Structure 1
Amino acid sequence: MAHTLADRPAARDVSPAHRTPWYKVLYVQVLIAIVLGILVGHFWPKTGAALKPLGDAFISLIKMMIAPVIFCTVVHGIASMSDLKKVGRVGAKALLYFEVVSTVALAVGLLVGEIVRPGAGFNIDPATLDTKAVASYVSRAKDEGVVAHLMAIIPNSFFDAFAKGDLLQVLLIAILSGFAVSQMGQTGERITHAIDTAGKMFFRIIGMIVRVAPIGAFGAMAFTIGAYGLGSLWNLLALVATFYATALLFVLVVLGVIARLAGFSILRFIAYIKDELLIVLGTSSSETVLPHMIQKMQRLGASPSVVGLVIPTGYSFNLDGTNIYMTLATLFLAQATNIHLTFGQEMTILVIAMLTSKGASGVTGAGFVTLAATLQIVPDIPIASLAILVGIDKFMSECRALTNLIGNGVATVVVSRWEGELDPVKLRQVMAHPLEIGEAMEREPIPARPAA
């Protein structure tokens, strides 16, 4: 049986003799790259905008590995379960958790929007806005309604899901494949072993790709600042600041309480996934760290089978940051255009957002498309008002992605605990020294899960 790093003595991982020099630590490199990207984008905007391919290339490298990693992880997890009813039970618990916490996030956005009122005083006439900038988003929103999104989960063919890289389509065929393999006896065991071996190979490739994360973060941040400029923040600074403060409040209070009930500290958990958070900060997409999060959650003590189901599903159904953004931005647009919403209208927005938010994903800009879809259903707020947010949405996408990532990590630990498959020894070990353990894991990559 293969062993994960968390199975080994902690002393070996955190001893001073084995610590990596600071300049070789991934999160330090990414942080430096982000700072350099901001400087280049600010002082040499044309050069910064021209560096966009660096960020795009890194995101593409990661995205090309997501489908095979998810497939192998989910198939291996389901095929290794002795009780197949457990798959349905885990899925039901995960969806219940997602719905409850997502609704809380939507409500928090509404509450803060009503209290702070970041859009008050703008007095904007929607008729004077240039709607060309939002035309593409509105078009995508029309094509990505709730029914269309649900139908799109079914791929045209088995391999079409891999070709398009659609996360939910890959998840569907992986679940079906896992059930099929689990019923094939000894042949299924051989297939499971082969899939597990392939998964370890894919994770090794991910480990190599992540090493160039600083380059990707540098290019993406330089482009953001160079193309949009820090100056575009000032006019709408109240909304940006309110959104970041609300997301921070949600993470520390709501997710903090959930984490405490599950037996760990949210601050120590954030320290544990610091590398992933910085990569997301640089790329504005939580998908860039999806494979790494699968490894991190398993090394934290969560069950591999639970991780394989909760993490991929959460990327479409547990988007806390996107939910906060949707209701807060909706109220902002109403206030900025002097539209008074009654309590009943706000509750309608809440219910509609509960549906439309399930169509978002971890891709950059998906939150803006989902907001457009919500406004199309809510006729009280003119969809042309979206033009107000175009210039600053890029700056808020980082916060959405960061909050989504933390929320999915917490959800994985909670569902594992509900299932009685959370290793308390590993959890205590990692949470006692999150920075040292995380650094040791980056230095010594190990296959993601034990063999069946």
Structure 2
Amino acid sequence: MAEEKKSGGIGLTTQIFLGLILGVIFGYLFPSYGEQLKPIGDIFIRMIKMIVVPLIFSSLIMGIAGTGDFKKLGRLGAKSILWFELATTVALFVGLLVVNVFEPGVGVQIVSSDPSAAAAAAKKSINMMDMLIKIVPTNAVDAAARGDMLQIIVFSCFFGVATAAMGEKGKPVLQVATSIAEVMFKFTHYVMCLAPIGIFAMIAFTVGKFGLGMLIPLMKLIGSLYFALALFLFLVFLMATIIFRINFFQLLRAIKDPLMLAFSTASSEAALPSAMEKLEKFGVPRHIITFVLPTGYTFNLDGSTLYSALAVVFIAQVYGIHFPIETQLLMVITLMLSTKGIAAVPGASLIVIAGTAAAFGLPVEGIAIILGVDRILDMARTACNLVGNCVAAVVVARWENELPDEVLKVAYTKNYSE
């Protein structure tokens, strides 16, 4: 509270929330003007994206070369992947549970809001072998220009390992990377000051273009997904609290700014720099943050994974197709594989849903039914992706005994408002 008074009485989270609400009102009352605000929202997202590549590159080098212990890096990787797989499995089964209990697709009229988009998604597919090959960049500059996060992470990891292996000769590179990371965090602070304006423009455009009426026919789907995501986060918090003794209500308080940003923009990239900064203030060591968060944004998309399972069964329900539980379990195994490493693929969730639906004999055109509300669904699953990865970073830090109880006690008394 004292921090909020220092910044003029309103914290950044409150400003973002007000921008969200005012954007909805403005877009609803003045739809034509709301649509014209799209360039402002686009400029804000572009400003965020220009931060991500140098921040990830410098942070990973700093984390890997700064650690200098390759056994420790291997241990971090193993523990991260283990937690990611556990969280992903829980997400998939929560999605199945909720969609089977609430049956949001039953009674929905089959009206394709955008059949062309559904057809386009149906023609695409995600080839796992091709994706495995393409994670290795042929040109690091090209990967950075395209914003291919997976290729950037792979290059940065190799660069960091090489820097660490150079010993004293590699220290100047490490110092430069550290300085760049510090500058990018400061850069992030400046951009975040514009977040309320950018979010106001983005939400006003969305409501102005699509209207609030699009929500009514699919309110049950929206409610089911939001409930499923909340249930998943509760279960993850419960597991992590019991095993690692962390007050995750305090963690949520610490990451409330990036969480609100992720929800408002439906962009993981928008929230990543701020999330890294908040986790470091919470007490998580920087080398763990810089390793777990970028990796998680590629392999631990809990919200997107849960949504994929729920959406495929939803399509079956809409068309009245019997989709037995044993087939759904087979679908879970398919999604465990197909949702890994797709963060950089445009429209990845729709492609995965289309491919999975086709593989199990469901009408792919059913995707068009949910396209009208996909923005509302995307906001929730993006926020869930962010929280899931922040939890993973804290869990790995506790698992490595690098976030002791005394540090947590100090973190619980901090105010994280800007």
Superposition TM-score tier, normalisation by shorter sequence: over 0.9
1:39-438 alignment runs, 5 A limit = 39-122=25-108, 124=110, 131-139=115-123, 141-142=124-125, 144-361=126-343, 365-378=347-360, 380-433=361-414, 437-438=415-416
CA RMSD of aligned residues (A): 2.0
- The Cα shift of 1:18 comes to 6.8
Q: Deviations over 1:303-335 (max 9, x none)?
A: 211111100011111111111111111111101
- The Cα shift of 1:170 comes to 0.9
2:387 alignment partner, SS class = helix
Corresponding residue for residue 37 of structure 1 = 23
TM-score by length of 2: 0.94
Q: Distance in 1 between matches of 2:384 and 2:86?
A: 16
- The Cα shift of 1:103 comes to 1.1
| Contact 2:128 2:338 (8 Å CA) reproduced | yes
Q: Deviations over 1:348-378 (max 9, x none)?
A: 1101111121143288854333322322333
Structure 1 residues 419 and 181, CA gap change in structure 2 (3 angstroms): same
Q: Distance in 2 between matches of 1:157 and 1:179?
A: 18
Matched AA of 1:35 = I
Q: Distance in 1 between matches of 2:224 and 2:379?
A: 14
Matched AA of 1:319 = L
Matched AA of 1:194 = V
| Contact 1:251 1:403 (8 Å CA) reproduced | yes
Structure 1 residues 41 and 341, CA gap change in structure 2 (3 angstroms): same
Stretches of structure 2 that go unaligned for 5 or more consecutive residues are none
Q: Distance in 2 between matches of 1:28 and 1:110?
A: 34
1:42 alignment partner, SS class = helix
Q: Deviations over 1:63-116 (max 9, x none)?
A: 111111011111111111242121121111111111111011011101111111
TM-score by length of 1: 0.88
Q: Distance in 1 between matches of 2:29 and 2:48?
A: 29
| Contact 2:262 2:268 (8 Å CA) reproduced | yes
2:140 alignment partner, SS class = coil
Q: Distance in 1 between matches of 2:18 and 2:346?
A: 22
Q: Work out the number of aligned pairs and report it.
A: 418
Q: Distance in 2 between matches of 1:364 and 1:235?
A: 27
| Contact 1:302 1:412 (8 Å CA) reproduced | yes
- The Cα shift of 1:262 comes to 2.2
| Contact 2:300 2:385 (8 Å CA) reproduced | yes
Q: Distance in 1 between matches of 2:346 and 2:43?
A: 14
Q: Distance in 1 between matches of 2:93 and 2:217?
A: 26
Q: Deviations over 1:382-418 (max 9, x none)?
A: 1111111111111100000111111111000001111
| Contact 1:109 1:324 (8 Å CA) reproduced | yes
Structure 1 residues 376 and 190, CA gap change in structure 2 (3 angstroms): same
Corresponding residue for residue 8 of structure 1 = none
Structure 1 residues 257 and 51, CA gap change in structure 2 (3 angstroms): same
Structure 1 residues 421 and 235, CA gap change in structure 2 (3 angstroms): same
Q: Distance in 2 between matches of 1:417 and 1:17?
A: 30
| Contact 2:27 2:208 (8 Å CA) reproduced | yes
Question: How high is the sequence identity, in percent, across the aligned residues?
Answer: 35
Q: Distance in 1 between matches of 2:139 and 2:205?
A: 37
2:23 alignment partner, SS class = helix
Stretches of structure 1 that go unaligned for 5 or more consecutive residues are 1-13, 443-452
- The Cα shift of 1:123 comes to 6.2
Q: Distance in 2 between matches of 1:336 and 1:272?
A: 40
Corresponding residue for residue 21 of structure 1 = 8
Q: Distance in 1 between matches of 2:28 and 2:88?
A: 36
| Contact 1:285 1:362 (8 Å CA) reproduced | no
Q: Distance in 1 between matches of 2:354 and 2:204?
A: 27
Corresponding residue for residue 10 of structure 1 = none
Structure 1 residues 147 and 376, CA gap change in structure 2 (3 angstroms): farther
Q: Distance in 2 between matches of 1:198 and 1:345?
A: 50
Matched AA of 2:150 = L
1:381 alignment partner, SS class = coil
| Contact 1:323 1:353 (8 Å CA) reproduced | yes
| Contact 1:311 1:408 (8 Å CA) reproduced | yes
Structure 1 residues 96 and 253, CA gap change in structure 2 (3 angstroms): closer
Stretch of structure 1 that moved more, 306-315 or 151-160: 151-160
Matched AA of 2:9 = W
| Contact 1:311 1:409 (8 Å CA) reproduced | yes
Structure 1 residues 151 and 398, CA gap change in structure 2 (3 angstroms): same
Q: Distance in 2 between matches of 1:45 and 1:363?
A: 31
